Amino acid sequence: MEMENKKGTTTLGLVFKDGVVAAAEHRATMGTLIAHKTTQKVFKIDEHMLLTTAGLVGDAQLLARLLRVEAELYKLERNEAMPVKGAATLMANILNQRKFYPYYVQLIIAGVDASGPHVFSLDAAGGSIEDVYTTTGSGSPYVFGVLEDHYKEGMSEDEAIDLTIRALTAAIKRDSASGNGMDVVVITKKGYRELSSDEIEERKKKLGL
């Protein structure tokens, strides 16, 4: 029995002046079959933090539920939100404990806490690396190409959103396992905001995409 797989994926996260932007497209593939066209790959963990997933659907959903519960417990016990680095370290430890029977995932944890905006990339063995931007999945080479060329520190929210949409669109155009629209989320100290499909389309038109 073949497990449902969504390794054909593109997700990304980047830091801008006042927060983070993260995004993912909607397509899930099993080999050459497009298995689903509305797959969730960006999970809200709390008002200040999110998780993006590439890999096995079941593993991704389980880990998203687990991190959401841990973040809620942290908040109840300490009366403050879980730091982004703390969430990344916790998830890295969970992944590392299973490295011989691994969760087949590649994750991004992104958010804003008292120390500022953060983006962490995590691999299936529990490696956790903080960076100003990162990307996962089969479309990631195309995203890296756009971000390497256009990312700059201190970007405004609008600039960061537009760059995210531009990079993800490049992956969708060239990676057959990515497509069927996108989710884009912005987190600042004001909270968690998911862009509407209308806003995404409007921005794409202005960018000539």
Number of helices (H), then strands (E), in the chain:
5, 13
| pLDDT value of residue 106 | 95
Q: Beta-carbon neighbour count of residue 117 at 10 Å?
A: 24
Closest by alpha carbon to 60, among 77, 82, 76, 36? 36
Q: Would you state the structure tokens that stand for residue 22, as one six-digit string?
A: 């993260």
Structure tokens at 101: 């029977």
**Residues 9, 52, 134, 169: which is the catalytic one?**
9
Instruction: Kindly list the domain boundaries of the chain, sorted by start residue.
Output: 5-207
> Three-class SS of residue 68?
helix
Displacement of CA 121 from its chain's centroid (Å) = 9
Other beta carbons within 10 angstroms of residue 62's beta carbon come to 13
Phi, psi of 86 (to 5 degrees): -65, -40
pLDDT tens digit at each of 209 positions of the chain: 334 444 579 999 999 999 999 999 988 787 778 778 888 999 999 999 999 999 888 999 999 999 999 999 999 999 999 999 999 999 999 999 998 999 999 999 999 999 999 999 999 999 999 999 999 999 999 999 999 999 999 999 999 999 999 999 999 998 777 778 899 999 999 999 999 999 999 999 999 99
Model confidence pLDDT, tens digit, residues 73-97: 999 999 999 999 999 999 999 999 9
Q: Beta-strand (E) ranges in 26-176?
A: 28-30, 33-36, 42-46, 49-56, 105-113, 116-122, 128-131, 133-136
Find out whether 147 and 14 touch, Cβ atoms under 8 Å.
Answer: yes
The reported pTM is 0.93
- φ, ψ (nearest 5 deg) of residue 201: -65, -40
Give the model confidence (pLDDT) of 140-162 as tens digits: 999 999 999 999 999 999 999 99
Q: Give the pLDDT confidence score for residue 178 in this predicted structure.
A: 78
Residue 89 designated active-site: no
Check residue 39 and give its pLDDT.
86
| pLDDT at res. 35 | 78
Integer Cα distance of 19 and 204 in angstroms: 21
Report the pLDDT value the prediction gives residue 176, as an integer from 0 to 100.
Answer: 77
Architecture per CATH, domain 5-207, reads as 4-Layer Sandwich (3.60)
